[in-house]
Amino acid sequence: MYLLKRIALLFLFIAVFIACNNPVKGRNGVVFKNPADYNDYIISRQTILIKNILDLGKKADSDVDSAYGMLDSYTNDATRIIAEIKDMPSYKGDSSLRDAAVNSFTFYKKLFGESYKRVLSIRREGGDETEAGAAEIMGIMDSIKREEEIHDKRLHNAQKDFASRFKMKMRDNEIQKEINQNQ
């Protein structure tokens, strides 16, 4: 659960208030009237990925085969979301939040397509019942935790810098409340 909690910390903050003068329009036609719209667009997609991780974890606890079957769909979600974020323009010349989100979401895609797939494969084969299988799972999870901390920190810092640069106020988001209730 620590892993999910660390991920969720990134999502604690959603910008609200503050409008800027000129809207920014993305290649996909989405208009960002203010920095909060820009931030919220990114965070709404991040929330989808985090909910997928939470749903996968719940399903894996009860039905490993079904959880494994969810991975391709979640990988496709991550691919689509990465493309949506890449289609965003920089906001008034600042692309740091967008770029940090792309890097973070690419990490999530890797989790679904590789790391979680391997963990669930080991479990499907009963490998988690062996010392070697359990050790491999622990190694994968430790690696995820280390890499996740790096991506989380980068995205969190980019979001804080973006909020500061554009004088936005931050607040907790709903997914953190849900994670806290499920612990």
Predicted confidence band at 13 (pLDDT cuts at 50, 70, 90)?
very low
Residue with token string 């494994």? 68
- Average confidence score pLDDT of the chain: 85
DSSP string, 111-125: IIIIIHHHHHHHHHT
Encode 120-145: b = buried (16+ Cβ within 10 Å), e = exposed: bebbeeebbeeeebeebbeebeeebe
| Mean pLDDT, range 11-26, rounded to an integer | 47
| Mean pLDDT, range 49-57, rounded to an integer | 96
Give me the helix-helix angle, 174-181 and 2-10, nearest 10°: 160
pLDDT digit string, tens, across residues 76-96: 999 999 999 999 999 999 999
Q: What is the CA radius of gyration of the chain?
A: 18
The domain limits of the chain are 2-169
Residue 89 Cα distances to 85, 116, 140, angstroms: 9, 32, 35
- DSSP helix/strand/coil, 157: helix
- In eight-state DSSP terms, residue 39 is H
Rounded-to-integer distance, Cα 149 and Cα 139, Å: 16
Rounded-to-integer distance, Cα 103 and Cα 38, Å: 17
